[in-house]
Structure 1
């Protein structure tokens, strides 16, 4: 089988499923909107095994997903509609089509009351209890993997690509099972730390892990007025430091509910509800005894984007990145962040958030460690999570909105110029927006994406510490110095210039595209020449070939720092690594 990217063109037919259009794709599958007998469905088709970066397990993962779905039949769990093989031999799973919003989008568009949020989570807990009774663990619960159906407001758990069941074969070659880092229970990081030198050690995912992820979803809906917006957020799974109580972040939340969420997110798994049925019962009790304080929206409408007008928005099978924020500056973002940070320890590092809106029904969530190094450090105290597409785009002349901080409970605008003392008093979010020179955004040490080592060695023929030249952001000329926004995505490209070494022409020729994220290191990190730009690329596409997972890092000198952005050369050299630093 050749390593070509498999696509079904519109109008093609697979076992009677008429393909209308592609909805999305990931590392292991492509999802299509299809029609059969006049009804819409979703068709998830496995990619060619070589194209996935996981040449031995792509098919096995799809078989497991189909098997898992065949074991389940619940009104709040996505239902299968069949399975089979396309003409090319790629396995597919047909699923019901859900016209709905993700949990985060629903929160922003419908402004639900606390009572309505609890009603949804009671049904989710019931679905999880049903699932767990049958030995099934989802393992990737997050806001984009729950849809709220528009027609009746019912929540639907989707995307079982990471799921497992009793007696299932272990497909994971890494220390942790597949999943999204922000929703991992703290004990997973503790396991990695304790077994960092045991490369055969595998974490056994449990119901307690699922309950923690459930708690993260509930916390975010109660605490965040705009959970679909991609921006920095505090880490909720630091093994040593719990997040602030949700009531401290949002005073509208009743104390007893805040205490329940605090228990669900306990660092000690034994203090969480014993199982998801017990969790369901506790949530139901809150509903039964809820008073007037539960009948108000979780956040004031002024803190959220306007509700979606009636009739706006078509069927949603692939979660969007949330509603487009208005161009006006919002007053609550920095104020809320400042309040949270005032309640917690000082922020030091950013961690990479995995909760980016992914294609629905397409798992592609990689394990967080590589075979070469299982030592993932525990999250730094109250780390902030960088979110994709957050803030300004590189090269933009639009100024960041003037932030606010809380002084004696009242929002106060930060002046255009702030002193060093004032910078020290601000939260990281506010300090960055205010242009404080000592603020730092940096990635933690990271390990390779799933399959990256194999892809780099076997398919790309790269060697560790190979160095390649590329234009870091293909939206700008390679000869320019441009402003990079930490936390944003960039696509780099190998330029068609003279001077590339022979090896690069052979294994990363002109036209090769690198996909990654921007960071920087401040001058407090041992850089004598000022803040240093860091770009981490985790995917690559050579001309005429499919995308492959990689580990490639660019470190470059910066020439300026302003409004949280870094000025640096757009052409630089990078290095093939198996982790960084």
Structure 2
């Protein structure tokens, strides 16, 4: 048997398991495809030993994941196949190897019908109902943690590294449990704001949080034809402004399903299905409905074709004769202009409310009785997506105006209170200056401009590192906090050009040739940084005056997988207009653990 390093390579052995290749790399563990006695498994090796002073407690988390899986045995939940220790003392967990696609990849490759999507979620809810009955909460449900097995199409819930179960020891010092911000229920962010001064306070994760995550996954598949792509998306958990109804973004979504998704994503936990078994029954009712609209692909397969960006594709409109209404796909700059026009029209209603002296109140999404207008694109990148970094509050999304569609004859009409009517639990008095500033801060750039907010901008809030970033930078990448690196900020533009950056848009930077020796060793030429651009109109960091800020939260070194990081570039802006920031495309940034 060969002697192995901390993280083995292909051909080496871990406690008798022969390593074939690395298939996953996260903040808590590295996952390898291994083989033993002719049987393949996934071996999850903790990043640290029990005695290594690991502040992330990856050893303890791996053992707790094992404990959770020992409580479970369901065909749609990954199975354990053993555990042990590597030669260096790192605990490992052997798991059933699933040869399959993530839920997002499956949606893009297989072009499922509405019925097929519901069948997958029906099985997921059955597994979750069983899991919850055993006292286990997954706490990190998302599209990448559900695999669709290629051999039989069965969905399998994986990655229980964030799971919790009855009487389990708490392993985190943070107020919120580990998880992915985009799929967190909005009450988590509300709780965090209310208890930010209480350092020992812990949020009590509940089944209602798990149900919201299921709704977020379903909303993503119904509204986004390319869920694997990195792009701007509507925030799903803002406590101020609600995302548009699924049917408003995709006319193929049946009305009954649109209503169910809206209830799952409700800001009030009591309005969601009471548990996952109740949700499974509601999905079963929809599955029993066999109209033609449930048998059509959720998205036209042409929208999900791989290769080439949306800007390179020609405009397309789906066959309007399909049940569920026409699905309009707007591509390129024409779609962006049309989408901006629609957005401005919507936010003008919000500015009218502000001018009347009342802040806009969140309301449950309404279902339009008519198909969406052509100006409603499926995924036009109009607003800032939820940052990958952990914010103290959810980011802003589109401000939706009052429902204007005429109700169908004989249908039940959902009423919305008048803007003057006070929302339950909140006073209806005039806005204070502090309230006005808070409202402006939570709007998108276009919404803030339409509402007349002073100094409207898209600016980043203070943040902490993504999960696993600090450890990855310190131990794997050998980066030091406050260490400077130089890079080309936007790899699509020349390194010595003045470039316009769209505030709130994704940015991909690259390390150029000719960097100094230290950087070549730890962030060599060709290293790719993934992040998002922001605009500051005042001092808020290392620069003074108007500035471009780019927060990079992932990095990919040549020949390696993506890893979470915290890297910030802040430099003076040479111009600002129409939501864009002008700056020189070469700049230096800093490794950080917080900003500012």
Scaled by the length of structure 2, the TM-score of the pair is: 0.69
Measured after TM superposition, the shift of residue 447 of structure 1 is 2.3
Measured after TM superposition, the shift of residue 103 of structure 1 is 1.0
**Cα pair 1:244 1:343 within 8 Å, conserved:** no
**Cα pair 2:445 2:458 within 8 Å, conserved:** no
Q: Distance in 2 between matches of 1:218 and 1:480?
A: 43
Distance 1:82 1:478, change over 3 A: same
Q: Distance in 2 between matches of 1:108 and 1:294?
A: 18
**Cα pair 1:440 1:520 within 8 Å, conserved:** no
- Which residues of 2 match residues 526-545 of structure 1 at below 5 A? 532-537=547-552
1:448 correspondence with 2:448 = no
- Which residues of 2 match residues 107-118 of structure 1 at below 5 A? 107-118=107-118
2:57 paired residue number: 57
2:395 paired residue number: 379
Measured after TM superposition, the shift of residue 324 of structure 1 is 6.6
**Cα pair 1:554 1:575 within 8 Å, conserved:** yes
Q: Distance in 1 between matches of 2:85 and 2:462?
A: 40
2:296 paired residue number: 296
- Which residues of 2 match residues 363-512 of structure 1 at below 5 A? 368=390, 376-382=392-398, 442-450=459-467, 468=484, 470-471=486-487, 480-481=496-497, 483=499, 486-490=505-509, 511-512=521-522
The unaligned stretches of length 5 or more in structure 1 are 307-322, 355-365, 370-375, 384-426, 430-437, 498-504
Q: Distance in 2 between matches of 1:29 and 1:353?
A: 23
Distance 1:87 1:191, change over 3 A: same
1:234 partner SS: coil
**Cα pair 1:512 1:541 within 8 Å, conserved:** no
Q: Distance in 1 between matches of 2:241 and 2:311?
A: 36
Q: Distance in 1 between matches of 2:177 and 2:537?
A: 35
**Cα pair 1:52 1:58 within 8 Å, conserved:** no
2:118 partner SS: helix
Q: Distance in 1 between matches of 2:145 and 2:341?
A: 29
2:533 aligned residue (510, 520, 530): 520
2:312 paired residue number: 328
2:572 paired residue number: 557
Measured after TM superposition, the shift of residue 242 of structure 1 is 2.1
Deviates more, 1:549-558 or 1:213-222: 549-558
Measured after TM superposition, the shift of residue 81 of structure 1 is 1.0
1:212 paired residue number: 212
1:46 paired residue number: 46
**Cα pair 1:115 1:294 within 8 Å, conserved:** yes
**Cα pair 1:53 1:549 within 8 Å, conserved:** no
Q: Distance in 2 between matches of 1:137 and 1:228?
A: 25
Distance 1:328 1:467, change over 3 A: closer
Deviates more, 1:467-476 or 1:20-29: 467-476
Q: Distance in 1 between matches of 2:594 and 2:28?
A: 23
1:305 paired residue number: 305
Higher relative contact order (CA 8 A, sep 6+): 1
1:103 correspondence with 2:103 = yes
**Cα pair 2:530 2:554 within 8 Å, conserved:** no
Measured after TM superposition, the shift of residue 330 of structure 1 is 5.2
The unaligned stretches of length 5 or more in structure 2 are 316-328, 352-380, 400-443, 447-454
1:536 partner SS: strand
1:400 paired residue number: none
Distance 1:457 1:33, change over 3 A: closer
2:182 partner SS: helix
Measured after TM superposition, the shift of residue 13 of structure 1 is 2.1
Distance 1:24 1:565, change over 3 A: farther
2:374 paired residue number: none
1:169 partner SS: coil
Measured after TM superposition, the shift of residue 529 of structure 1 is 10
1:17 correspondence with 2:17 = yes
**Cα pair 1:53 1:452 within 8 Å, conserved:** no
Distance 1:254 1:202, change over 3 A: same
1:236 partner SS: coil
Q: Distance in 1 between matches of 2:271 and 2:394?
A: 21
1:233 partner SS: coil
**Cα pair 2:488 2:586 within 8 Å, conserved:** yes
**Cα pair 2:499 2:585 within 8 Å, conserved:** no
